[in-house]
Amino acid sequence: MTDAATSFAGSGPMRAGQEIDSGAVDAWLRANVDGYAGPLTVEQFNGGQSNPTYRLRTPGRDYVLRRKPAGTLLKGAHAIEREYRVMSALAQTGFPVAKPYGLCEDERVIGTPFFVMEMVEGRIFWTPALPDLGAADRAAYFDAMNATLARLHSFDSAALGLADFGRSDNYLARQIARWSQQYRDDDLAGALPEMERLVEWLPAHLPPGDESSLVHGDYRADNLVFAAQAPTVLAVLDWELSTLGHPLADFTYHLMMYRLPSHILGGLVGSDLATLGIPSEADYVAAYCRRTSRARIDQLDWYLAFNMFRFAAIIHGIKGRMARGTAASPHAASLVAILPELAAIAWAQAERQS
């Protein structure tokens, strides 16, 4: 089992400070979820850096409860209501998401808003190297990841009822401004020189043109549930950062796996891709371009610098929550430890583009 799997897989007792009232949850489920029947046992998933997530066990079926963390939150963060909305829309199309059963915005029930969805049983690969597979199988799983994201970017957001799910213009500039502001507002997390440089460099080198589609915002291997024995994506998880945005920003966030070392999101830098049966970065980009009718992706290194900056800003926020005592995961410290290195790699992409 990989280190990530050891840290994040499975569920267990609720962690101190993140307990929820199982009786209150049981009563809410009885009133709001068709077919629910107890008795109920609540466990907490080991993963969940942002929103605490729980496994609800019953004799008939299991459910998943995802809630906002307690304490003071940054504006716009932990938007579980948006997760519920986008998953509900996509579930109607047959796109692979866990079926949402209900949203509770009443903080009096368990202390924070939450939603409940189906528990999708399947296989999660905690690093993009897919270490539990043989070399002959990996290409098909990479192709499934690629195809699923390309399909997400093909949806008409208005037809999904999501025309107001976000602004459809200037996504890149707005994201840079948002994460720059969030980074600078979190005084408790401190400053990093490469982040300060990126705050200035990114808006000064924006790619020309604009596009808009529904985007996931955190699309990577460990947010996918595959079928037990096939390269079929059963569910895409963790829609907290979903919005209307630039599809190339979404795709190149996923593409970061090719530019990061193994100890950061299980990156592929230094791996022998051919021996592992993993497509090259160029081939993976070409497959996405074919599926989305593109000739190429101009300024690829800019998009990668942007996404690494954004990811670093998210970790910077986790560092701030640690300082405030509200970080949702016991593994937050190990994630925060990579922040300086990640910021340096992000700046290296900017220098490469320049």
Same-domain check for residues 96 and 243: no
For 200, phi then psi, to 5°, come to: -85, -40
For 195, phi then psi, to 5°, come to: -65, -40
What is the CATH number for 237? Answer: 3.90.1200.10
What is the CATH number for 15? Answer: 3.30.200.20
The answer, yes or no, to whether residue 7 has pLDDT greater than 90, is no
For 26, the domain range is 3-118
- Hey, is 254 helix, strand or coil? helix
Write out the DSSP string of 88-147: HHHHTTT-S-PPEEEEE--TTTTSS-EEEEE---SB--SSTT-TTS-HHHHHHHHHHHHH
Per-residue model confidence (pLDDT) at position 347: 98
Same-domain check for residues 216 and 318: yes
Q: In this structure, is residue 234 part of a structural domain? A: yes
The total of structural domains in the chain comes to 2
Same-domain check for residues 189 and 311: yes
Same-domain check for residues 68 and 148: no
Same-domain check for residues 28 and 172: no
Same-domain check for residues 319 and 210: yes
* Peptide bond preceding 39 in cis form (omega within 30 of 0): yes
Contact between 218 and 106 under an 8 Å Cβ cutoff? The reply is no
Question: How far are the Cα atoms of 131, 145, 242, 296 from residue 210, in angstroms, in the given order?
Answer: 37, 24, 18, 15
Name the residue type at position 313.
Answer: A
Taking residues 224-236, what's their average pLDDT? 97
Q: How far apart are CA 127 and CA 260, in angstroms?
A: 12
Cα dihedral sign, 75-80-81-87 = positive
Left, alpha or beta for 164 (phi > 0: left; psi -120 to 50: alpha)? alpha
Same-domain check for residues 241 and 101: no
Average pLDDT, the chain: 92
Helices (H), the chain: 3-8, 22-32, 80-91, 135-154, 171-185, 193-204, 247-255, 273-276, 281-291, 300-324, 332-337, 339-353
Q: In this structure, is residue 126 part of a structural domain? A: no
Q: What is the percentage of the chain residues whose pLDDT exceeds 90?
A: 80
Same-domain check for residues 158 and 104: no
Confidence category of residue 2, pLDDT binned at 50, 70, 90 = very low
Same-domain check for residues 107 and 151: no
Q: Bigger pLDDT: 318 or 297? A: 297
Same-domain check for residues 142 and 86: no
The answer, yes or no, to whether residue 6 has pLDDT greater than 50, is no
Same-domain check for residues 245 and 342: yes
Q: In this structure, is residue 129 part of a structural domain? A: no
| Residue 50: both structure tokens together | 């942002």
Q: What is the percentage of the chain residues whose pLDDT exceeds 70?
A: 93
Q: How far apart are CA 208 and CA 161, in angstroms?
A: 29
State pLDDT tens for residues 76-110. 556 899 999 999 999 999 999 999 999 999 999 99
Taking residues 26-53, what's their average pLDDT? 90
State pLDDT tens for residues 60-77. 999 999 998 876 555 555
The rounded radius of gyration (Å) of the Cα atoms in the chain is: 20
Same-domain check for residues 49 and 146: no
